[in-house]
Amino acid sequence: MRVALLDDFHPLISESFSKWNWEYMDCKDWSLEDFKTNAHTLEGIVIRSKFALDKSLLKLANKLKFIARPGSGLEHIDLEYCQKKNIEVFRSPEGNSDALAEHALGMLLSLVNNLQKANAEVKNNIWKREENRGSELKGKVMGIIGFGYMGRAFAQRLKGFGMEIIAYDKYKSGFKTKYVQEVTLNKIFEKSDFVSLHTPLNKDTIGMVNKNFIEKFKKSFVLINTARGQSVILKDLNEALKTNKILGACLDVLEIELKNFNLKNTSNKNFEQLKKFENVILSPHIAGWTKESKKKMASIIIEKIHKKFIL
């Protein structure tokens, strides 16, 4: 099996391929043209988000047997074409759900306790206690939208805080647990003090959090997004922050983010406005990005490939 490793992965992947006597290539420095030139020789691809593997590119890889994506999102892969051509597609959201949940919780606790603001002030010899009085999570309502691996892991972290946890998922049902109530989206709008997105990127979720969506909430709320940036319209988020309809935001992903985890345009006016809010915490798409998750995602991907092609 000839496999291209198109990004930087845990060595467990290459070590496993070597053990199986597969031919693998370190291709993280490949350009798109390099890929096009070599695509016809490939039987396997391991990728995160280096290229969008659309139909035009996949057609060039006429020997392709599988695509492995350590992580969760598959929006950059033409899944319909893969199914048509019997190309196996593997992912490993199980591997970074714990890391993402901890990151989301860390951002939330930092926001409600004013930790970033207070930290910056104390480092500048400013000592303000009353101005940095925080808010407790206990007794509040967390609305989770999307209850897959990520949403479930986040709910598990929250259960010890004495919150009421409600969850909605358009694509599944019957996931109620001892500490999570399964509800309708309207119930999320009615009850939530906090809203956390754990949704895939698709036609239903692109631009989902817009002015109309925000206005449906009965109470002002805090928004957490560790899913996909294109789900939240920055212009509408800014307006809601100005009016206090949204009381704060924790964003690990942004609307203006490129597939290779960079910003399209750092002079984007909506992003520049967003950065001015003290009640907004930002991180560079690193929720789920831990040393442990890198190994776990690799281990799970290898296990799935092994089960299909080796056993």
Strand-strand pairing, 141-145 and 280-282:
unpaired
Q: Which among 265, 307, 257, 281 has a CA at the least distance from the CA of 73?
A: 257
Cβ neighbours around 47 below 10 Å, total: 22
pLDDT for 163 equals 98
Cβ-contact 160, 137 below 8 angstroms: no
pLDDT for 264 equals 73
User: Which residue ranges make up each domain of the chain?
Assistant: 2-95+291-309, 97-282
Tokens in use for 202? Answer: 């698709």
What is the rounded average pLDDT of the residues 231-260? Answer: 94
What is the rounded average pLDDT of the residues 54-58? Answer: 96
Residue 85 has pLDDT above 90, yes or no: yes
Catalytic residue annotation = 228, 257, 285
**Global confidence as pTM:** 0.94
Is it true that 2-95+291-309 and 97-282 share their CATH fold? yes
What is the rounded average pLDDT of the residues 105-124? Answer: 97
Residue 261 has pLDDT above 70, yes or no: no
The full length of the chain comes to 311
Residue 29 has pLDDT above 90, yes or no: yes
Q: Which fold has domain 2-95+291-309?
A: Rossmann fold (3.40.50)
pLDDT for 267 equals 76
Q: Quote the CATH superfamily of domain 97-282.
A: NAD(P)-binding Rossmann-like Domain (3.40.50.720)
pLDDT for 21 equals 97
What is the rounded average pLDDT of the residues 188-209? Answer: 97
Residue 265 has pLDDT above 80, yes or no: no
In whole numbers, what is the pLDDT of the chain averaged over residues? 96
pLDDT for 281 equals 98
* Angle, alpha carbons 5-12-49 (nearest 5°): 35
